[in-house]
Structure 1
Amino acid sequence: MRSSLKTWALPALVLLGLLAGWELLVRAAEIPAYTLPAPSLVAQTLVAHFGSLAGSWWVTVKITAGALALACAGGVLIAAAFALSPTLERALFPVAVVLQVTPIVAVAPLILIYVHSTTAALLLCAWIVAFFPILSNTVIGLRAADANLRDLFRLYRATPWQRLRLLRLPAALPYFVAGLKISGGLSLIGAVTAEMVAGAAGRETGLASRILEASFRTETPKMFAALTLLVLTGVGIFALFNALSAWLLGSWHASESTRPD
């Protein structure tokens, strides 16, 4: 219990200090709300408009979760195929790299043109952003199996599928979880970016569209309120996968060890 309090006390104090400094700065400098609203005003705006923002938040969450699920399924399956067939990896891995380095802001308008379903287009945009970290980390993890254990499996004439299932996949689990933490935030970023492109035409009602709508009306406190929901969502995603990592790896992997150095 004390360890948990120590872990959370310092970050909480830093965050409260930053918010208090922000509040004091706005009040002391008499900064108008349309330029920089105080945290207290942002909180009031969030409470006042929570009903309308909650529906938009749910749209964003569904796109984020769907894209992350597709990235996990696709990344793990393709990484496993790469592990079983190095030739396939050499042929297709450059395609994954191309997807990774292509700016989503540049291709999102094209995807929205070519894909008739707006929801499917948004999912595809978010998936493109979230896919590569899962694939790359899992591929590295599948290669990270102990060389002595690999030799032992060959000695006992294990099949490629047995080596994958019993040796490589357990070795890749810490790497997959690390990729999951990265892709969780990236899927939210991809969803918001795609929503902004689609929301400019008024076709979606995600939080990004609410931010654009508020910016057009110079409703800066509402923009900050929507942004606060996005930030809290991202923090929640990271905390969820951090807890998942501790649950999956805490009893056996060094990355989740609580012993001091």
Structure 2
Amino acid sequence: MTRSSSPALALARNAAPVVAVALLAIGLWWLLSATVYQGKGYLLPSPQEVAAATAENAATLAGATLSTLKEALLGYALAIVVGIAGAAVLAQSRLLERSLYPYAVLLQTVPVVAIAPLIVLWFGYNELSVVIVSFIMSLFPIINNTMLGLRSTSRNLAELFALHRASGLVSFWKLRLPGALPHIFAGLRISAGLSVIGAIVGEFIIGSGNAEGGLGVQIVFAQGRMYTALLFAEVIAATLLGFLFFLAVSAIGRLLLRHWHESALGS
């Protein structure tokens, strides 16, 4: 009985502070809307007004959230493939790293707004352009953290593999890549949220490829209509989407690491 209930109790203990802070924030929000911003719902709607707007526009919100989720997932998946493969190549040679890594940094520092016209020119006002923006925003943390992990291989273990005449490919698959997984998942967690932000920013700038549009498109429409309650609902939906994306990646990382790495032991 005790053993079966302990995970639930641990989950409750971990969730209690988060729930308490959320309830405190909602209470402060309601207090401000009922006092300072009373009668000014166009500036700060009450939680009840946001809940009513959410219920009234539930179908549109659900469709927009799914559209943004699909774009973020595609951009994120592409960033994982390109980021891990690119980092694996760069980590093989210091010369390659010095030659190509600065361009990965430049890709991260160029404002998306500045290159959005080029993306639209090359790919059009469609979903693909939004996916590319999401990909660009989520790529660098994966490259950076994967390279850090591959460069952090234990020297003693590397010498042990060399002593047994292991090939470079065997050393990579059986030593360097598994040892880099904690760093890789650290980058994946960062990029999970950035991919959602990238998709929404892309929708702001480019639009969307379907009739309704994702959360970014709907936020622009709600702002234009001064429908602040719906705007709040859409911002909350976007925030929760990024948060759930982060939690999903974190859970996968714990499952892969919990039996052998200190960062996830006991998770």
1:91, 1:132 → 2: CA distance? 16
Structure 2 Cα separation of the partners of residues 204 and 173 of structure 1 = 39
- State the alpha-carbon separation in 1 of the partners of residues 236 and 227 from structure 2: 14
Aligned with 2:44: secondary structure? Answer: coil
Which residue matches 1:146? 154
Distance of 1:194 and 1:66 partners within structure 2 = 13
1:237 equivalent in alignment to 2:249: no
Q: Distance in 2 between matches of 1:158 and 1:84?
A: 16
Matches within 5 A, 1:245-260: 245-258=253-266
TM-aligned CA deviation for residue 89 of structure 1: 2.3
Deviates more, 1:111-120 or 1:225-234: 111-120
State which of 16, 22, 36 in structure 2 corresponds to 1:15. 22
When the two chains are superposed, the root-mean-square deviation of aligned CA atoms in Å is: 1.9
The one-letter code of the counterpart of 2:204 is M
Match of 2:134 among 118, 123, 126: 126
The CA deviation at 1:117 is 6.0
Residue 31 (structure 1) shift: 4.3
Structure 1 stretches lacking a partner, 5+ long: none
2:70 corresponds to: 62
User: Is the Cα–Cα contact under 8 Å of residues 199 and 212 in structure 1 kept in the other structure?
Assistant: no
Measured against aligned partners, the alpha-carbon deviations of 1:102-125 in whole angstroms (never above 9, x if no partner) come to 111221222112223622211111
Aligned to 2:4: none
1:99 corresponds to which of 107, 124, 130: 107
Q: CA deviation at 1:258?
A: 4.0
Following the alignment from structure 1 to structure 2, what is the Cα–Cα distance between the partners of residues 218 and 116?
29
Counterpart secondary structure, 2:35: helix
Q: How far does residue 130 in structure 1 lie from its aligned partner after superposition?
A: 0.3
| Contact in 2 for aligned 1:37/1:220 (Cα 8 Å) | yes
CA distance in 2, matches of 1:177, 1:142: 13
| TM-score, length-scaled by structure 1 | 0.94
Question: Whole-Å Cα distance in 1 between the matches of residues 245 and 211 of structure 2?
Answer: 26
Q: Say if 1:26 and 1:38, in contact at 8 Å, map to a contact too.
A: yes
Q: d(CA) in 1 for partners of 2:60 and 2:74?
A: 22
Per-residue CA shift, 1:127-185, capped at 9, x if unaligned?
11100100110011011111000111111111111111110000110011110100000
Question: Is the Cα–Cα contact under 8 Å of residues 84 and 160 in structure 1 kept in the other structure?
Answer: no
* Local SS of the residue matching 2:91: helix
Q: What letter corresponds to residue 25 of structure 2 in structure 1?
A: L
Instruction: Confirm or deny that 1:47 pairs with 2:47.
Output: no
**Quick one: distance in 1 between partners of 2:109 and 2:212?**
26
- SS of match in other structure, 1:254: coil
Alignment correspondent of 1:6: 13
Tell me which amino acid in the other structure corresponds to 2:244.
Answer: G
2:126–2:207 contact (8 Å) kept in structure 1: no
Distance 2:139 2:229 in 1: 34
